[in-house]
Amino acid sequence: ERERGGMAKESSSVPCTPLLKDELDIVIPTIRNLDFLEMWRPFFQPYHLIIVQDGDPSKTIKVPEGFDYELYNRNDINRILGPKAACISFKDSACRCFGYMVSKKKYIYTIDDDCFVAKDPTGKEINALEQHIKNLLSPATPHFFNTLYDPYREGADFVRGYPFSLREGARTAVSHGLWLNIPDYDAPTQLVKPRERNTRYVDAVLTIPKGTLFPMCGMNLAFDRELIGPAMYFGLMGDGQPIGRYDDMWAGWCTKVICDHLGLGIKTGLPYIWHSKASNPFVNLKKEYKGIFWQEELIPFFQSAVLSKECTTVQKCYIELSKQVREKLGKIDPYFTKLADAMVTWIEAWDDLNPPTVAAEVPNGPAKGK
Ligand SMILES: O=c1ccn([C@@H]2O[C@H](COP(=O)(O)OP(=O)(O)O[C@H]3O[C@@H](CO)[C@H](O)[C@H]3O)[C@@H](O)[C@H]2O)c(=O)[nH]1
Ligand SMILES: [Mn+2]
């Protein structure tokens, strides 16, 4: 009998020790109301929220009582960034990356407002934030695959044949969570399988091996902002752009290339959230249309991207990548030249708001297993 997860009912209160209470911000992009927070209250209330209100800034977004938050609408983004605001998408969930930029914390968790608390096969409510924090605070294994999954997890370990020289692992930069109920399918798949629901709960956390790209979904995602924040630019989408629903994919591909270069790890798997709302597949098809054939050229670009050894900080890696985007992808469509410019603007804006106190050199030491 396949293990099945489900959606939790609104819970009264679940005591949880708020790990990283003052070192983590929760970033929520929204065009809707934030009632979903009621269900997350036991897990999220101790944390500071950064709400990025998309769309019409004159609309008032009601935040449930008792949450500590800051809210930014488009007027705020324009006021804070001035002309550099052009790199932040409008009328697309990609706007969430503004929250990463204004945060002052070491960790970020971002979640969509149609994602709810899921239940594991035992019926226990899943504290997704707690699991992401565990993922981020334990090492990753990008340089040698452990067949018994996460070796740092209680009750597991490295298996026979795993080199001891590699068991220290790599620092974890990203924790990519998954979704029960509505899976993050692209529009063609959604159209072919409109009623497919994900009921499969896989009790595993895996490190994505070095040299392998992956499709990063922004719905249930956490990362170490000090390690990889400047790479988490959710590419130009939405209003005035020829493409949508590739913002998180773009960030994931850039981030993975940079993590591989800097010897950092990315994990995927637990925790699950319950994704409740399927966005309109026809609207999604229009947004994704160009991306579906462009990505056949983008993937080989990222697979063959090489960063020089002078790229010792995320910012330097990202600027180097933007140059390669301009040179190699600009010929696909003028959009990529615009995106390359936006990548540079993003880094400039990031450094304006986050002046490097000490050179944020990520030791680019030879990642073991190279
Ligand atoms: O114009 C918009 C539309 C939506 N939002 C907010 O963004 C998230 C996601 O919105 P929604 O749940 O409607 O869309 P999904 O298709 O399920 O989103 C997933 O697909 C990808 C889209 O790029 C992305 O990885 C996932 O987010 C909600 O919080 C909306 O309120 C917005 O800010 N602006
Ligand atoms: Mn959704």
Global ipTM: 0.96
Spacing, Cα 31 to ligand 1 middle (Å): 9
Q: Quote the pLDDT of residue 177.
A: 98
- Regarding the beta carbon of 30 and ligand 1, being less than 6 Å apart is answered yes
Torsion over CA: 95, 260, 204, 184 (sign): positive
* Structure tokens belonging to residue 319: 């600027």
Q: Which atom of ligand 1 is nearest to the CA of 28?
A: 29
Q: Quote the pLDDT of residue 7.
A: 80
How many residues does this entry show for the chain? 370
Give the span between the Cα atoms of 89 and 81, in whole angstroms.
13
Burial class of 165 by CB neighbour count within 10 A (0 to 12, 13 to 18, 19+):
exposed
Give the span between the Cα atoms of 227 and 249, in whole angstroms.
19
Who contacts 89 (Cβ-Cβ below 8 Å, separation ≥6)?
Answer: 95, 234, 235, 236, 237, 238, 239, 241, 247
Spacing, Cα 93 to ligand 1 middle (Å): 5
Task: Give the residue, by CA position, lying nearest to ligand 1 atom 7.
Answer: 93
Q: Quote the pLDDT of residue 370.
A: 39
- Regarding the beta carbon of 29 and ligand 1, being less than 6 Å apart is answered yes
Give the span between the Cα atoms of 131 and 109, in whole angstroms.
11
- Amino acid identity of residue 46, one-letter, is P
- Regarding the beta carbon of 288 and ligand 1, being less than 6 Å apart is answered no
Going by C-alpha positions, the residue among 208, 196, 322 that lies closest to residue 260 is 208
Spacing, Cα 275 to ligand 2 middle (Å): 6
Burial class of 108 by CB neighbour count within 10 A (0 to 12, 13 to 18, 19+):
buried
Q: Which atom of ligand 1 is nearest to the CA of 53?
A: 33
> pLDDT tens digits for the chain (370 residues)?
456 777 876 655 555 568 999 999 999 999 998 999 999 999 999 999 999 999 999 999 999 999 999 999 999 999 999 999 999 999 999 999 999 999 999 999 999 999 999 999 999 999 999 999 999 999 999 999 999 999 999 999 999 999 999 999 999 999 999 999 999 999 999 999 999 999 999 999 999 999 999 999 999 999 999 999 999 999 999 999 999 999 999 999 999 999 999 999 999 999 999 999 889 999 999 999 999 999 999 999 999 999 999 999 999 999 999 999 999 999 999 999 999 999 999 999 999 999 977 655 665 544 444 3
Widest Cα–Cα separation across the chain: 60
Q: Quote the pLDDT of residue 44.
A: 98
